[in-house]
Amino acid sequence: GNSVTQMEGPVTLSEEAFLTINCTYTATGYPSLFWYVQYPGEGLQLLLKATKADDKGSNKGFEATYRKETTSFHLEKGSVQVSDSAVYFCALTNTDKLIFGTGTRLQVFP
């Protein structure tokens, strides 16, 4: 079946450090891939998405590239801010279901 595997957290960084959160997936066909972000006390909101191989999603300085050959969709940001502290979820869909990874907590310190 379809599944998403994310690196475990928490990821702890200093402000302006480079961020990578790994995400790999297992799916049949050609899924769409997403990164969602959850700020404290809030629901999830879409950060970026990619719908086909080699697509790059980007938003708010975050990027992720849909790599079909490695079944990956790693999230990156060149310079994190304290305000980026949140939980990040990788997700996929290729049917009527949206499947999430377990989430990775990011903590950024000044």
Partner 1 sequence: NAGVTQTPKFQVLKTGQSMTLQCAQDMNHEYMSWYRQDPGMGLRLIHYSVGAGITDQGEVPNGYNVSRSTTEDFPLRLLSAAPSQTSVYFCASRTLPGQGANTEAFFGQGTRLTVV
Applying CB under 8 A, which residues contact partner 1?
32, 34, 36, 42-46, 49, 89, 93-103
Per the document, the length of the chain is 110
Report the nearest approach of partner 1 to the CB of residue 34 (Å).
Answer: 8
What is 12-57 written as a DSSP string? Answer: EEETT--EEE-EEEE-SS--EEEEEEE-TTS-EEEEEEE-STT-EE
CB atoms under 10 Å from CB of 61, counted, come to 13
Single out the residue of 14, 31, 26 nearest to residue 94, CA to CA: 31
Q: Give the nearer residue to partner 1 in terms of CB position, either 12 or 79.
A: 12
Report the nearest approach of partner 1 to the CB of residue 89 (Å).
Answer: 7
Q: Give the nearer residue to partner 1 in terms of CB position, either 6 or 19.
A: 6
Q: Helix, strand, or coil here: 7?
A: coil
Q: Give the nearer residue to partner 1 in terms of CB position, either 71 or 94.
A: 94
Report the nearest approach of partner 1 to the CB of residue 51 (Å).
Answer: 8
Q: Give the nearer residue to partner 1 in terms of CB position, either 53 or 98.
A: 98
Report the nearest approach of partner 1 to the CB of residue 96 (Å).
Answer: 5
